[in-house]
Amino acid sequence: MDENDPKRHDVETYRLGEGLYGLSLYELEARIDAYGAEITRLKAELEKKAQEKQAADQLFKKN
């Protein structure tokens, strides 16, 4: 995801656990979309790091 992507910017301005009372349906849906995109990005990075760790473990595996 590009740093200039509006969904990324929205996630950066949101705070986990903040009050939602004053938000419209549109605003709530936009947050869900932004958080969903962020979750997808985080899962991709997690998988990448797991693969890197597995490769490093194999490379440095003791016999």
- Give the pLDDT band (50/70/90) at residue 37: very high
- pTM given for the model: 0.69
pLDDT of 1 over the 50 cut: no
Please write down the HEC assignment for all residues of 4-61: CCHHHHHHHHCCCCCCCCCCCHHHHHHHHHHHHHHHHHHHHHHHHHHHHHHHHHHHCC
- Provide the pLDDT for residue 3: 57
| Domain limits, the chain | 6-59
Q: What percent of the chain has pLDDT over 70?
A: 79
Per-residue pLDDT of 42-54, as tens digits, reads 999 999 999 999 9
- Provide the pLDDT for residue 27: 94
Taking residues 17-23, what's their average pLDDT?
94
Are 34 and 15 a contacting pair, CB within 8 Å?
Answer: no
